[in-house]
Amino acid sequence: MHSAGSILADDEPPAYELIEGSGPRPIIIVCDHAANRVPRSLDMLGLADHHLHDHIGWDIGAAGVARRLAQWFDADAVLAVYSRLVVDLNRSLHDAGAFAAISDGILVPGNVGLSIEAKAARARELYHPYHRTIRKLIDAGTSAEHSPIFIGIHSFTPRASGIERPWHIGVLWDKDPRLPLPLMRGLRTASDIVVADNEPYSGRHPADFTIDHHAELLGLAHAGIEIRQDLIRDEIGQERWAARLADALRPVLEHEAFYTRLETMGKGAV
């Protein structure tokens, strides 16, 4: 059954999965594209099942990595429960990409000609609850002494537009180097890992909404992390790359200076 005007049935899960950590320091992990589920009322957006299981429907493998990191660091985590094609949680609602009618050349029939009311319903039930929950975690983890460290987990396709992407992992950032630079140094200590700086996407691009809206806006130390999807398609790969990422993150997350807002950070912390 549906409540009046709702796109979610009463027996369908809410917009996000919340993992509550209890570690000694506030760490928040988010995964905007963790799942490929579509509310039943939207009839799979008119897509074939294999499209939703492809990269246009979600960030393949990212959720498994995010959950492992949350467990190992006893961190808070928020993971999307519905497909990015229903509404992209990593876009401003004013961005056309938030309700993409075409994704990587694939027509999304259920997003063609969406009314203002239809967009508002998706925003009300999926988008706003996700971002409100993230902000509540930030508020709960903020004190006179500390602010949370913020980490976004994504994955990327091995090739796009016919171009190979040789990197294994990318670190995305813009103005705040505190977390990204030592994280990249840590990852590069392994000779078999090709680490990208702001590839295959850039943290300086305005479409990077979640980190911009929550971490940059509040001056939180942060990094966006992109892992190549062929490396984390199965649980073995997710375990391996979560472990590699955790090894590089562990010494970085011990820096007390990183648990402050940017404007209060002392010099020489990086």
120 lies in some domain: yes
183-192 long-range contacts (CB < 8 A, ≥24 apart) are 183/223, 183/248, 183/249, 183/252, 186/247, 186/248, 186/249, 186/251, 186/252, 187/244, 187/245, 187/248, 189/248, 190/244
For every residue of 59-81, DSSP letters joined together read -TTHHHHHHHHHHHHT-EEEEE-
Residue 6 corresponds to which amino acid? S
2 lies in some domain: no
How many domains, in total, are found in the chain? Answer: 1
Chain length of the chain? 270
216 lies in some domain: yes
269 lies in some domain: no
CB 91 within 8 A of CB 97: yes
Distances (CA, A) of 68 to 33, 65, 71, 188, 257: 16, 5, 5, 21, 25
CATH code of the domain in which 97 resides: 3.40.630.40
Distances (CA, A) of 203 to 54, 93, 96, 162: 24, 19, 19, 23
pLDDT at 235: 97
SS3 state of residue 19: strand
52 lies in some domain: yes
CB 29 within 8 A of CB 151: yes
pLDDT at 161: 78
* Residues pairing with 31 in the sheet: 79
CA distance 13 to 82: 9
pLDDT at 1: 53
pLDDT at 4: 54
* Residues whose CB falls within 8 Å of the CB of residue 39, separated by 6 or more in sequence, listed in order: 7, 8, 9, 12, 82, 86
8 lies in some domain: no
CB 210 within 8 A of CB 90: yes
95 lies in some domain: yes
* Residues whose CB falls within 8 Å of the CB of residue 168, separated by 6 or more in sequence, listed in order: 193, 194, 195, 227, 228, 231
Against a cut of 0.85, is the pTM above it? yes
3 lies in some domain: no
* Residues pairing with 80 in the sheet: 16
Tens of pLDDT along the chain (270 residues)? 556 579 999 999 999 999 999 999 999 999 999 999 999 999 999 999 999 999 999 999 999 999 999 999 999 999 999 999 999 999 999 999 999 999 999 999 999 999 999 999 999 999 999 999 999 999 999 998 899 999 999 999 999 878 899 999 999 999 999 999 999 999 999 999 999 999 999 998 888 899 999 999 999 999 999 999 999 999 999 999 999 999 999 999 999 999 999 874 443 343
Q: Which residue do the tokens 């990015």 mark?
A: 84
Q: Provide the residue range defining the domain that includes 155.
A: 16-264
